[in-house]
Amino acid sequence: MKHYLLASDFDQTLSFNDSGIALSELLGITGFQDKVAGLSRLNLVQQGGELAYLLRHDPEYRRVRRQDLAEVGRRVRLKRNIPLLTRLLEDGIEGHRFDFYVISAAPEEVVRSALQGIVPPDHVIGTRLGYAAESGEIESIVRVAAGYGKVAAIDELRLALSVPSDRVVYVGDGSSDIHVMLEVNHRGGFTIAASEAKYITEIAKRTIISDDALSVLVPILEQIAGWGPERIRALFESHGVLIHQWDKVRTDWLTIGESATAAERTEPLRDEDVPDEERSSEKSPH
């Protein structure tokens, strides 16, 4: 039995929401995205850690309490079949066992509440906040599981579970997942992008786009368990899940131009070889 660690991001990987947007909507706070963009430009906090920063330092978020975060979690729209995904990872893939953990930059209360009854709370590593005993106000940030914080979380888990680094699988969709994906790849693990965003698909070994969480099993079964498409379809169907459409798009996008050195090496054309229209276009900056 091969033992793996499968760690997944939460916001927009297992859900359709962004926790910060959902919280701001719940509380009627506007301008969340502008604030995040501003923080992002400064590189003051790890990418994905903006909400944690705002919760601690932005006056508008001072009224947020633990129960508000849990309420946001209850409102989160999850992708389909997360319960089935966790069952199959545990004992549904012959010869393989995957410990499933969620590592999220969102506050732990949000993710734990969203995944209540699906993923045990101790399998959720999120951003941890400290609360004032009297007022319930957020008074400290204990840990931010964003950006490089996700690398640290994976390292802790790997050691605790005694999983070698090449048996780590990470799934994510956003800029907060870049560090951890680079690190997992570097150590021989496997990475899956759940978004078409170029900055993440360029890094991940596979990309899978679906509104069904079970889809993440496709690259895992192909790459790690060595299954073919028929066997994968059959497994899904045996659990009542039908793959309607499976488009495999693997395209190399190239834009090719002449390099400066190559241009120098080329014999200059004699004037009479250049047609008039080309000669005039030589002056254009393109």
Q: Which one, of 238, 199, 250, lies nearest residue 93 by Cα?
A: 238
Q: 31 with 125: CB under 8 angstroms?
A: no
Residues contacting Mg ion: total by CB under 5 A = 6
How near is the Cβ of 9 to Mg ion at its closest, in Å?
4
Binding-site member from 7, 8, 9, 46 for Mg ion (CB under 5 A): 9
**Pick 51 or 235: Cβ nearer Mg ion:** 51
**Pick 13 or 47: Cβ nearer Mg ion:** 13
Binding-site member from 174, 184, 203, 207 for Mg ion (CB under 5 A): 174
**How far separated are the first and last CA of the chain, in Å rounded?**
58
201 binding Mg ion? (CB under 5 A): no
Residues 6+ apart with CB under 8 A from 171: 6, 7, 8, 9, 13, 191, 192, 193, 194, 216
Site string for Mg ion, 12-51 (x = CB under 5 A): xx--------------------------------------
Which listed range, 6-14, 68-76, 118-126, 228-236, lies at the site for Mg ion (CB under 5 A)? 6-14
Cα gap 257→249, rounded to integer Å: 25
How near is the Cβ of 120 to Mg ion at its closest, in Å?
21
**Pick 9 or 109: Cβ nearer Mg ion:** 9
How near is the Cβ of 37 to Mg ion at its closest, in Å?
16
How near is the Cβ of 13 to Mg ion at its closest, in Å?
5
How near is the Cβ of 253 to Mg ion at its closest, in Å?
24
Residue with tokens 């997360």: 82
Cα gap 253→15, rounded to integer Å: 29
| Cα–Cα distance list, 30 to 34, 55, 60, 96, 184 (Å) | 9, 14, 9, 46, 36
Residue with tokens 């959720």: 124
Site string for Mg ion, 222-241 (x = CB under 5 A): --------------------
Burial letters 75-100, b for 16+ CB under 10 A, else e: ebebbebbebbbebbeebbeebebbb
Residue with tokens 């499968």: 6
Binding-site member from 68, 109, 173, 183 for Mg ion (CB under 5 A): 173
**Pick 20 or 235: Cβ nearer Mg ion:** 20
**Pick 45 or 235: Cβ nearer Mg ion:** 45
Binding site for Mg ion (CB under 5 A): 9, 11-13, 173-174
